[in-house]
Structures are given as C-alpha cells and as structure tokens.
Amino acid sequence: MDNSVRIGVLGASGYTGADLIRLAALHPAIEIASVTANTYAGKTMAEVFPHLSFISLPRLTKVEDADWSKVDAVFCGLPHGTTQEIISEILTENPAVKVVDMSADFRLRDPETYKTWYGHEHRAPKLQDEAVYGLTEHYREAIKDSRLVACPGCYPTASLLALLPIVASGEVVADDIVIDAKSGVSGAGRSPKQNTLFTEAGEGLSPYAVAEHRHAPEIEQEVSKVAGRSLYVNFTPHLIPMSRGELCSIYVRLEGGATAADLRKTLSDAYAGEPFVHVLPEGTLPQTQAVRGSNHVQIAVFADRIPGRAIVISTLDNLVKGSAGQAIQNFNLMFGLTETTGLGQLALFP
Amino acid sequence: MDNSVRIGVLGASGYTGADLIRLAALHPAIEIASVTANTYAGKTMAEVFPHLSFISLPRLTKVEDADWSKVDAVFCGLPHGTTQEIISEILTENPAVKVVDMSADFRLRDPETYKTWYGHEHRAPKLQDEAVYGLTEHYREAIKDSRLVACPGCYPTASLLALLPIVASGEVVADDIVIDAKSGVSGAGRSPKQNTLFTEAGEGLSPYAVAEHRHAPEIEQEVSKVAGRSLYVNFTPHLIPMSRGELCSIYVRLEGGATAADLRKTLSDAYAGEPFVHVLPEGTLPQTQAVRGSNHVQIAVFADRIPGRAIVISTLDNLVKGSAGQAIQNFNLMFGLTETTGLGQLALFP
Amino acid sequence: MDNSVRIGVLGASGYTGADLIRLAALHPAIEIASVTANTYAGKTMAEVFPHLSFISLPRLTKVEDADWSKVDAVFCGLPHGTTQEIISEILTENPAVKVVDMSADFRLRDPETYKTWYGHEHRAPKLQDEAVYGLTEHYREAIKDSRLVACPGCYPTASLLALLPIVASGEVVADDIVIDAKSGVSGAGRSPKQNTLFTEAGEGLSPYAVAEHRHAPEIEQEVSKVAGRSLYVNFTPHLIPMSRGELCSIYVRLEGGATAADLRKTLSDAYAGEPFVHVLPEGTLPQTQAVRGSNHVQIAVFADRIPGRAIVISTLDNLVKGSAGQAIQNFNLMFGLTETTGLGQLALFP
Amino acid sequence: MDNSVRIGVLGASGYTGADLIRLAALHPAIEIASVTANTYAGKTMAEVFPHLSFISLPRLTKVEDADWSKVDAVFCGLPHGTTQEIISEILTENPAVKVVDMSADFRLRDPETYKTWYGHEHRAPKLQDEAVYGLTEHYREAIKDSRLVACPGCYPTASLLALLPIVASGEVVADDIVIDAKSGVSGAGRSPKQNTLFTEAGEGLSPYAVAEHRHAPEIEQEVSKVAGRSLYVNFTPHLIPMSRGELCSIYVRLEGGATAADLRKTLSDAYAGEPFVHVLPEGTLPQTQAVRGSNHVQIAVFADRIPGRAIVISTLDNLVKGSAGQAIQNFNLMFGLTETTGLGQLALFP
C-alpha cells in the first residue's frame, strides 16, 4: 500500500478503538501501523478482541513505546483526561502528524466549563483552542484544514445534527429544548462495572446522570453558538438493553408560527446531498436498527399534540457516527480523500 | 376453598390474561372457575402457556360456552372493541357479578372521544357511564362500590400516578407536559406481528404511534379533570428491547416558583402509606428492573438544567401494575379484601 | 410471627442471596432476622438491591457482627472456599442452628476430589462428612434429619434429576453420558467481569470451562454412586444471552434394548407425585421460559436418530430450583414444614 | 460499472435476501439489477428494509415480471419448495445465467430423501442432479465450473466444516456423532410466528425439531459420502435469544487412539490457507460474537473428560457464512473473481 496513510490508534483496547480498527480494516487508504493500550501491552489484538483476529495487526504496545514519527495520523480513543498530555507531546514532537481525537478532551472550548465538568484545569489549553469540533456536516471546511479534530460525543452528534439547523433558522425556542436520550450499553465502555453487567442492564431500563451528564455542556456550547446566546438544554440519558445504537427524542417549542413540516423542510434543505444524514419523509419512523454498525443518521420530525410544539427524533450508532465512523469521515477530509471512503458498510440487520 | 371468590377470565390466551392467572394462582381468596379464549377453546392452559402447566386450571372454552352464573367476578383481558358487548350481556344476565376490565373499552368517559379514537360508536354507553376508572390510588372509594371497574392502560397508570398530584397542586403547567414513554414488547400483545419479532425488536429501539397513541386521550382525560380544563399532553412511546417494564420520563414546566423538591414532597405526601407507590429520595434512580413482575411503582423527581423546569420519572411493570396487578388490587377492594392480598411478589431480578 | 423460623442469610449481596430473600419474603413461616455481606456492611438491602426496597429488612452487617444465637436457620450464599470455616464456627457455637448451604463447599464427599478441584485442603472435613447432599427428590429422608444440607449446584440439579433414575434402572450406559449445558449469565455472579458485561455476553454465545467445570466432579460423584462404579461424564457448559435459566441436553447410549419411551416411563414413575419435577409427555418441548423464576423442573425424552441412543432434556431456573428455591424446599423439610411452602410462584412469562 | 456482474435477487424480502444485498452493496464487481419479492412487489427496498434505504436499489417486482435476460447471475433466497420450478424456468430460458441458490431445494442429492423430508416429488430432478453442493472449502473446483450451486444450510455448514476432515481421516467414529446446535432467531425467517416473537424467544431458550430437523439428512448425506457408508447423526437444534449466530458443539468418539490434539492438527492442516475457516489454538474458546456479521468460521477442539472422546466446536453467522456470505464466496468462484471479494467485513462487536 504505497499511498496509504499510516495510522496509529491510541486506546485500541476500548470499544471505540476496536470499532475504528474494524472500519479502518476495510478502508482502502489506511495502513494500521501502531496500536497502543497500556493495560494490554504485549498482547495481540486477537487476544483482546477475538473478532479482530482474522486480519493482520501489529501487536499492542504502551503509548510511550510507539514510534509516532512513523505514522501520518493518530486516532485517539483514550478515556477523557488522559488524552490531552499525550496528544500534546505527540504533536510537539511530530508536527506533521494529524490527530483525530475520539475522547472528550478537546470538545469544550471554554476552559472554565472544562474545569467545572472534568474537575481539573485543562493541561493543553493551546491545543484546546486550536482543536476543531468534528461535527462533520457543520464544520467541514475547518476540519479540512485542521491537524487536531475533536470528534463530538455520541449524544451531541445525534442531538446537534437534529437541532443546529432549526435553531439557526429561528424556528424553535432555543432555551426550551428537552432531549430524552436513549443509548445502548457500549457507551459505558469495556471496563467491568456492576451496572453494565448483562444481568443488571438486561431486560430493563433506567435513566442515569439525569441533568448532570457531561454531554450536556457540549450540546449547550454548540446550540448557544448558533442561537447567539448562552443557554441550557435538558439532557436526560437512559440506558437501554442493547449493545449499540442511540436515539434522541427532542421536544421543542415552535417559534413564529413554524410547523413540524417547516422543521422537516429546514432539515431536509440543510442535509440535502449529505451522504450520511437522512431526513425521513413524514410518517416514517426512525429506528436504531436501521443504522446499527453504519455511519448513517436518520432524523424525523413529528407534530406534537400540544399546539405550538414539535418532536424531532434522531438516531445513529453511538460507536460509528457517534465515534469511530465520524472520526474516519473527518480523517478523510483532513487527508483530502473522498469523504465517504471506507464508510460504505450498511447496518447489520437483523 | 369455601370462602373463595370464584372468578372467570375472559381472554385468557393473551399476556394480560396469563399474568392475571399467574397472580391469581397465589391469591388465597380466588378460585379460578372459568377461562375463555375463543381461538384456543378446547385446549388446556398448559398447551397455550407452558408456564401455567404446573397448576390445576379449567380447560379453555368459548366465551359463549362459559356459565357466568357460577362466578362472582369476571376479569376481562380481551382486545379493545370486543369487550363492551360481552360485558354488557354478562352483567345483564348476572346482575350479581362484578367486572374488572383490563381492556380499553370503558376507560374513556366521553362517547365522542371514544368514537374518534376507536372508530365506532360505543356499544354499551350506559355501562361506559357507570364504569369507574380503576387507577386505584386515585379512585379507591368509588372502586369499592363499583361493579364495573375500567383498569387504566399501562402508560396512563405510569403517567397519571406521577402527574395527578402535581397538577392538582398547581405546581406544574398542565398544558405543557411532555411524556417520553418507553415500554417492553409485551405491551404489543401475543399476536404475531413482524415488528415484534425477536429479530426486529431486539438490539434496537424505535418510537411508534408518535402523537397518535390511544393512551394519549386517556391521560388527557384525567389530567384535564384535575386541571379543571381541557388540555393536550405530549405522549411519545418507544419500543424497547425487553419483554416487560415501562418507564415514563415526564418533562414539566414549574408554576409559581415551585422546585423539584416541592414536587417530590407533594408526591411523597400524596402517596404516604400507599403499599405500591414509592416516591424515591433525591438522587435515587428508578429502573424497570426493580419492579419487573411486581405491582410496585417507583417515582422520582429531578431538577432540570433549564431553570423553571423539572423531570418526573415513573416506572412499573406494564403487565402487573399496568394491567393484571392493578386489576387484582381493584378486585380486592370490590370484594372487601385487604388491598394487597395476593400482590406480595417482589420483582424477579436479575 | 410467633411461630416463625428466624433465619439469617450469609452473603446477601449476591444473586443467590437476593433470590433467597425474594422467596423468603413470601414464605409464611420465615422471619428474616439477619443479613450479612462484608463488602456492603452498613448499607440497607434497598441500596444493594433496589427490587428488595419494598419490604422491611434488617440492615446488612459483617458476618462477625451477626448474632447467630438469635436465629434458627442460616442460609449461606457465600462464594466457595469462604463458607466452610464460617459455618463450622456457627455450628460449634450454636448447636441448635440448622444450615442450608447454597455454596459449593460441602457438596463433594471425597476430600481428595475437593482438594483437586478447589486447590486446598477442606477446612471442615468433619462437617463435609456430615453434610447431606440437598438434591431434594433423591435425599429427602436424610435432609429431614440433617442440620447441614449442601444444596447441589445448578447444573448438577438439572443433570442429576434427569440422569439418576435412568442410570439406576440400568437403561443407559453410565460412562458414556454427554451433557451439553446452557446457562443464563446470572450463574456467573454479580462481581463485575468483562466477559459478563451486557456488551460482551449479549447477542452471542460461547462455551466456557469446557471439560473442566467444577460441576463435573459433582455430577460424577452422584452418577457414580448410583451406577456403583467410578466414572466420568462429559460436561460442556455454554453462556447464553439471558439472565436466568438453564437447560441441559443430555445424550445417552441405551442399554439392553431400552427405548426413549422406556426412559420416559422410568422418569415419570420416579417423579410421580413430585410437586416440582415434571416429566413432559412425548413431543412436548421443555423451555427455560416455562420455569423462569419458579422452583419447577421440566424433563423430556426424545428418540435419537442414531439407533440405540436417546436425548434427555431438563430445564430449571438456576437461581431457584438450581439454588435458592431448592434451599427453601430443603429448609421446609428440615423444619417439618410442608415441602412446597413459599414456593408457589409460577414462572414470570413473558 | 462496466465490468460488473449484473445480479438478480429472488426473495429479497427475507433475511437471507437482505443480507445478500447488504454484502453485494460493498462488492466491487456486482451490480444489483433486479430484486423480487411477490408479497412486496411495487414497494421500494427502503420500505421493506429501512437499513437498506441508504443505497440505490431497484424497486421490488414479482418474480414473473423480472427480466432475467438482463442478468448474469441469480441469487435465490426463496422459501424451500418454491425455488425449483422458478430456477428451472430461468435456466431454460436463459442458459447463460448462473444460479447461486440459498434455499434448500437442491441440497439433497437423493430424490427419495428429498421426498421424505419435503413431502413431495422434486420438480426439477435433472437440475437436482446437476447442482453442486456449495460448501466452498470442500467443493471448490466443482463450484468453479458449475452454473447451479446449492449453498448448504447454516447448520450443515457449521457441522460439516468441523466434521468432514476428521471423518475422512478416520479419527472419529462416523456413526456416533452428536451435534448439539444453537442458533439465533433469524434462522426462523421474517414471517411472523408466535414462537419467534421477542416476548417468547427472549430471555429463554428451548430445543426444537429434536431429531427431526431437515438439516439432519443434509449433514448425513455429506458425512456418509466421506465415511463411505450410509449413517445417521444426532442433530439437536436449540433456539437462542440472539438474532444472529450459530454454534455447534459436536461430541465425537475417537477411533484408533486418536486424541483431541490429533483432530486439531487434522483440521488445521485441512484449512491451512483458507481465508474464512480458522482452527483455534488449544484452549481458545470460539464464540458467535467473534464472527457475527462476517463470513468467518471458528473451529476448536477440546479433550473430553470421558476417555476416548473429544469435543469439536464450530461457530459462524447463520446469515453470512451460513447463507449469503457463502453464496457470494461461491459466486466469486463461478465468475472467476478472487474468492474473498466483497467479504472483508469483520464482525460487528459489540
């Protein structure tokens, strides 16, 4: 693969890292040169993820043992908080490298907000300032020119794709947005925890982190930016007994006589020609099953029974368009490749 | 069982009928005298429901072959629309019989609303007028004196238990209520349909009947009654990959400076001493797992990030407190038994 | 509750402990006096198991802080290896107490076998010798007179109920028995492990501990005893994406011209009148759904396509008849109560 | 796509048809020219399968309205019994067309066996004779030259890949093979049936068609052929609460002093260099999760506790290597393409 882009994957033992590799393995212009995972250093990927045993991959190393001078791009799937210093070092020592960060470390633009939600000062504030927010459809041009893209969280991706056009158009009241979010269990990661055991999360559902989830300030940051004023959103996530998939039911108050049909048209216009964002015709129901494993997003709009309100529902796969897939979409832009390269996989259904 | 109440179960081949029998089998004052299911007439319950094969039950008959003069009470789990004429006949010919209806036929008080949502004139309007709405905690006294109780739908039970006290207290804006509802698949019944196959409903979720579910007018009827004016609610149900359980996340606008803590207190006071309705302390998360298979309900209140709003979450088992369990609770009242008799089962967890 | 038996539950923070409490809460002759769980000492059961929050229970204590002189019986749901010393102490200091052990510590009769499989000398060999193996239907009389009953493992219960009568009758070749076992995830306990996360165990299945599971020597011990010679069995467990339930498909070679119908008759005769063990008529398929949450067992026999072979399939709930339910069944015998007391719950289906 | 092979898909509204399209959409040399499904004729694929809405596909037609002269290959995913006449007609009228049949119609070579198991005379006996059995790794050369390939059933694929080499080598007793098979629910198809509802098949498992499943004679046909004599196998399938995936635990008696290690070596040698069949090293456990959605197969061998026996376990995705994936693998051979073309997708995990 002469013209391949050589990539390194930081945090390859987590679900986002693994899904990045699953997708990268089918990407015609990617060569996976390095995979790191400190806990599993020395092991093969096949030992850590049997479903990746059928392709040839480098052995896992510690972050500090990877040779970043030999890669063109780094995908980062580390837990939040650990990413900023590592990325900072890599970029300092290897200025030609481009970074696609799937962690939460560079998403929030405001250092104070970061500190409030993550409990410490940001350790790479200059990079935080430089990073481009990787919501592809809304930051496409900036992403093309960036060397550090902070891919949005899964919930923010689903919420913002639905909200930004209709907030920008002034058709909904920006500070009265209720987001009832539902996610599969993979969003909680691969570290063993009691509440994500099969026996605990199966055959039942529960809300969690009600009104205090870290994706709330991220959504607020972007909605505020488009609304032109600082505001709060309701964000209430629920843990659903499925492994993948995410659906946000967003309840909005209409402004200036707008109707559900108006919102649908605004969204359809905004995403006309987009390869991955699909606004459904009236009456068609979105479902996570339709996008599971793919980079596609469905958005639908419904009239509310309460006059002057509407319902906007968006769905995506939290590990793909909500993480690794959007990361590759951004990577393609950053390297001048066709945006859809390597992202042709359809949902695995049933 | 000399002092037992002899019951008949109409529609014993559906999930609510089966769950009624599961509970009745442990009820010390019930003798199951008759079970009907037209499609399965002549079969044993063991053939239709293997989990009921371990107890002694009468053979299934057609409705018209049952001898209602030999029963004291009839539980009705028929599909909506078929119930009203059968109940009407039974009550006419057996005036001493009491009826606990788990179908939708007698829930709506207004004949016009009924016609709008069910597509035909009600066929027993006098009984519709006579029926008591069986939301036990709010209609207890009327239920005691009634011979026809219309048990609420599962979603209305979950929603109204959370809403009625705080609408009555004037602490929330009654015509700005958003109910995001999530239900297990058993709510869709046992008739084979493509969308409730394991392969279709598993590992994914979707909204359905958005803004047009028949439980919406039922919720509106009761909220309007308490609010003192006719109003609409948002009601958006979602199909969740689990068999049982239901959780309603209700988003409300606060009135007159009320806080989440105020709502919690109002609810705690309203349900103090109730055996089955539990208002959780601040910070405790409800989950369907805690109530699965039991008649218990959990309600929790959370502050919203948006000033002036709050989140009320309720959860129950759709087949128990949402149907068969509440039916037995009402039956106990109608027959002068201790209200909790036969309803001691705790959730099956995990 | 004047005549109640006061019980203590050791290891109340595990799934078997919790299921014991779920069942005991409905048992008319049990008073739960003490619950211990060292990790959670000081917490309420409601904090540890929300589904148990609706009944009144003592606060969790450490084992050493419990007052065993105030209880009549101890149910023990501790992990294996920790039980033997604690039970030994309790029995020494409180000779009137009776112990129903749900752990693995007293199941194996042979100290050498114990050491081989559990890696250390047994620490209470006298009690090991005294303990009665609690497979109720086969050790009923001994259980009645015992003060220490070692309840069988879940897999041995399912396997032995199917095997013992047909090995005893000489109709199957005892040293050519293949047991393909399938269990829900609750069998792996509540401690967080990667392989039992929802994301790992869901939507897939795998064998585990092939030919080296600790339930194999337990099954061999009992089959050997009935066969009159020491032998091996094949025992291959599989982890199934469900929380509860267990099904053993047992493949046997027929002896002396016996047929599947002969095996069915032998089993039917052996369990005639048994309240919890049900031999199904020809052609009826067992399923874990029929027994989930109940103490019932289904056994079915099928002719094999290979001449001279048959298939025996048994199913039960691993936490009930496979653990806590059988424990209560034995407890009832030990205290002279009706054997079925408190065990009337039918399966929760769907 | 000038050099593309134009394909038609018969029975595109079933799960195998849909999975064929999912895979074909990523195949660089396939153009989907025609899709038929009589019940859904006139509809778009997006209406029938929302997850296929993101690619461009022809509208569904009736079989009789398709123009087979415009296609080079036909993939057939019709229910058994309906295929033989349609295929016969297509091949008569379009002699250049090649057919990859995923139905059961041409798998059994013996007309009597077919009649016995399918209840009627075969309606295209000449084609039955001509058809090549599409177990790729064992019929590769014949497939290359064939115009009609009968892809094996999912269970036979999993079973035969594990069995053929070790029966051929004489290391196992061919007429004492026990196959305990476990499959996800998608194997039952998309037609609504009560037993495959989420509520019925979820959170539980059951055997079905014990000793009378139609895949038994198919397995026997191929094992008999290799063994050189007519024989029976035990084949006991179980329905598992997952959508996709299949695992066969095969219990064999060893011949002539062979060991588990010998079997492993025989299998490793047989599949050395195979792109999709992977014999695992000693101690590694196969799992459906590792192959879900991919064309890969895992096979592992374990020593049995019973001397002289061994356990061979194989796993695959029933809709991919068990159907649509193997179909494309065969198609590639029939059209002179690289065998792995379009089959690079790794398992979707989690």
Closest CA to B108 of B146, B71, B138, B81: B81
List the beta bridge partners of residue A315.
A247, A298
D203 contact B CB<8A: yes
Structure tokens at D167: 């029966």
Order across the sheet with A98-101: list the strands: A60-61, A30-36, A5-10, A73-76, A98-101, A148-150, A132-133
Confidence band for D304, pLDDT divided at 50, 70 and 90? very high
DSSP string, A144-211: HT-SEEEPPPHHHHHHHHHHHHHHHTT-B-TT--EEEEEE-GGGG-SS--GGGBHHHHTT--EE-STT
Reported as a single tens digit per residue, the pLDDT across D285-296 is 999 999 999 999
C15 contact A CB<8A: yes
Mean pLDDT over each residue of chain B, to the nearest integer:
97
Instruction: Tell me if residue D348 falls in helix, strand or coil.
Output: coil
From chain A, pick out residues whose CB is under 8 angstroms from the CB of D54.
Answer: 278, 294, 296, 346
Chain D residue nearest residue A185, CA to CA: D350
C207 contact D CB<8A: yes
CB-closest option in B192, B203, B242 to D243 = B203
CB-closest option in C192, C203, C241 to A194 = C192
Residue D82's pLDDT is what?
A: 84
CB-closest option in D185, D203, D242 to B243 = D203
Structure tokens at B291: 């109530």
Beta-carbon neighbour count of residue A104 at 10 Å? 23
Return phi, psi of residue B226, to 5°.
-75, -35
CA distances from C122 to C63, C84, C115, C134, C221 (A): 20, 8, 7, 19, 17
Alpha carbons A111 and D236: distance in angstroms, whole number = 62
Return phi, psi of residue B104, to 5°.
-90, 0
Residue C79's pLDDT is what?
A: 86
Are A66 and A36 contacting, i.e. CB atoms less than 8 angstroms apart?
A: yes
Closest CA to A71 of A149, A4, A128, A25: A4
Reported as a single tens digit per residue, the pLDDT across C68-93 is 999 999 999 998 888 899 999 999 99
Per-residue burial over A132-141, b if 16 or more Cβ lie within 10 Å, else e, is bbbbbbbbbe
Instruction: Tell me if residue C127 falls in helix, strand or coil.
Output: helix
Cα four-point dihedral sign D97, D100, D101, D102: negative
Are D264 and D165 contacting, i.e. CB atoms less than 8 angstroms apart?
A: no
Cα four-point dihedral sign A166, A171, A175, A181: negative
Domain regions of chain B by residue span = 5-130, 155-318
CA distances from C329 to A290, A309, C143 (A): 48, 58, 10
Residue C114's pLDDT is what?
A: 95
When scoring D16, D198, D203, D208 by the number of chain B Cβ atoms within 10 A, the one with the most, hence best to mutate, is: D198
Residue with tokens 């009265």: A176
Confidence band for C301, pLDDT divided at 50, 70 and 90? very high
Are A268 and C224 contacting, i.e. CB atoms less than 8 angstroms apart?
A: no
Q: Which CATH class is domain C5-130?
A: alpha beta
From chain C, pick out residues whose CB is under 8 angstroms from the CB of D232.
Answer: 305-307
**For residue B1, pLDDT beyond 50:** no
Rg of chain D in Å (alpha carbons): 20
Residue with tokens 């439980």: B215
Mean pLDDT, residues C111-115: 95
Are A307 and D307 contacting, i.e. CB atoms less than 8 angstroms apart?
A: no
Mean pLDDT over each residue of chain D, to the nearest integer:
97
Alpha carbons A334 and A329: distance in angstroms, whole number = 9
Alpha carbons B171 and A4: distance in angstroms, whole number = 62
Closest CA to A168 of A215, A219, A228: A228
Q: What's the residue count for chain A?
A: 350
**For residue C283, pLDDT beyond 80:** yes
**For residue A244, pLDDT beyond 90:** yes
Alpha carbons D300 and D247: distance in angstroms, whole number = 11
B3 contact A CB<8A: no
Instruction: Tell me if residue C232 falls in helix, strand or coil.
Output: coil
CA terminus-to-terminus distance, chain A: 34
Reported as a single tens digit per residue, the pLDDT across A165-182 is 999 999 999 999 999 999
Alpha carbons D237 and D215: distance in angstroms, whole number = 10
CA terminus-to-terminus distance, chain C: 34
From chain B, pick out residues whose CB is under 8 angstroms from the CB of A238.
Answer: 182, 247, 249
Closest CA to B222 of B142, B118, B108, B129: B108
Instruction: Tell me if residue A57 falls in helix, strand or coil.
Output: coil
Closest CA to D186 of D302, D27, D324, D44: D324
Percent of chain C, pLDDT > 70? 99
CB contact under 8 A, D51 and A347: yes
**For residue A1, pLDDT beyond 80:** no
Are B25 and C346 contacting, i.e. CB atoms less than 8 angstroms apart?
A: yes
Reply yes or no on whether D151 is catalytic: no
Q: Widest CA span of chain B, in angstroms?
A: 62
From chain A, pick out residues whose CB is under 8 angstroms from the CB of D324.
Answer: none
Q: Could you confirm whether domain D155-318 is CATH 3.30.360.10?
A: yes
Reported as a single tens digit per residue, the pLDDT across A51-100 is 999 999 999 999 999 999 999 999 999 988 888 999 999 999 999 999 99
Neighbours of chain A (3+ CB pairs under 8 A): B, C, D
> What kind and span of H or E run contains C297?
strand C297-303
Return phi, psi of residue D276, to 5°.
-115, -10
Residue C1's pLDDT is what?
A: 47
D191 contact A CB<8A: no
Structure tokens at B86: 């059968």
DSSP A31: E
From chain C, pick out residues whose CB is under 8 angstroms from the CB of D205.
Answer: 182, 240, 242, 245, 247, 287-288
Q: Give start and end residues of each alpha helix (H) in chain D.
A: 15-24, 45-48, 83-93, 111-118, 125-130, 136-144, 154-168, 198-201, 215-227, 260-271, 325-334
A293 contact D CB<8A: yes
Confidence band for A106, pLDDT divided at 50, 70 and 90? very high
CB contact under 8 A, C294 and B52: no
From chain A, pick out residues whose CB is under 8 angstroms from the CB of D18.
Answer: 349
D289 contact C CB<8A: yes
The distance of C291 to chain A (nearest Cα, Å) reads 17
* HEC sequence for D68-121: HHHCCEEEECCCCCCHHHHHHHHHHHCCCCEEEECCCCCCCCCHHHHHHHHCCC
Q: Which amino acid is at A189?
A: G
Residue D2's pLDDT is what?
A: 60
D159 contact C CB<8A: no
List the beta bridge partners of residue C238.
C182, C207
DSSP D12: T
Reported as a single tens digit per residue, the pLDDT across B259-276 is 999 999 999 999 999 999
Closest CA to D207 of C241, C315, C296: C315
Residue B2's pLDDT is what?
A: 60
Contacts of range A58-64, beta carbons closer than 8 Å, 24 or more positions apart? A58/A32, A58/A33, A58/A34, A59/A35, A60/A12, A60/A13, A60/A35, A60/A36, A61/A34, A61/A35, A61/A36, A62/A36, A62/A38, A63/A10, A63/A36, A63/A38
CB contact under 8 A, D243 and B186: no
Residue A81's pLDDT is what?
A: 82
Are A342 and A332 contacting, i.e. CB atoms less than 8 angstroms apart?
A: yes
Chain A residue nearest residue D286, CA to CA: A50
Order across the sheet with A309-316: list the strands: A206-207, A234-239, A178-183, A246-253, A309-316, A297-303, A277-279
> What does pTM read for this prediction?
0.98
**For residue B35, pLDDT beyond 90:** yes
**For residue B302, pLDDT beyond 70:** yes
Mean pLDDT, residues B15-29: 97
Reported as a single tens digit per residue, the pLDDT across D209-254 is 999 999 999 999 999 999 999 999 999 999 999 999 999 999 999 9
Beta-carbon neighbour count of residue D321 at 10 Å? 28
Q: One of C76, C151, C154, C248 is an active-site residue; which one?
A: C154
Are D248 and D162 contacting, i.e. CB atoms less than 8 angstroms apart?
A: yes
Beta-carbon neighbour count of residue C92 at 10 Å? 10
Residue A2's pLDDT is what?
A: 60
Residue B218's pLDDT is what?
A: 98
From chain C, pick out residues whose CB is under 8 angstroms from the CB of A197.
Answer: 185, 190, 192-193, 196-198
CB contact under 8 A, C22 and B346: yes
Residue B105's pLDDT is what?
A: 95
Residue D81's pLDDT is what?
A: 82
C195 contact D CB<8A: no
Residue C4's pLDDT is what?
A: 94
Alpha carbons B290 and C17: distance in angstroms, whole number = 16
Per-residue burial over A166-188, b if 16 or more Cβ lie within 10 Å, else e, is bbbbebbbbbbbbbbbbbbbbbb
**For residue D1, pLDDT beyond 90:** no
Angle at the Cα of B98 (from B94 to B104), degrees rounded to 5? 110
Dihedral, D294, D296, D302, D304 alpha carbons, nearest 10:
70
CB contact under 8 A, D243 and B199: yes
Chain C residue nearest residue B184, CA to CA: C350
Beta-carbon neighbour count of residue D192 at 10 Å? 15
Residue C208's pLDDT is what?
A: 98
Alpha carbons C152 and C100: distance in angstroms, whole number = 11
D245 contact C CB<8A: yes
ipTM of the complex: 0.97
Residue B80's pLDDT is what?
A: 82
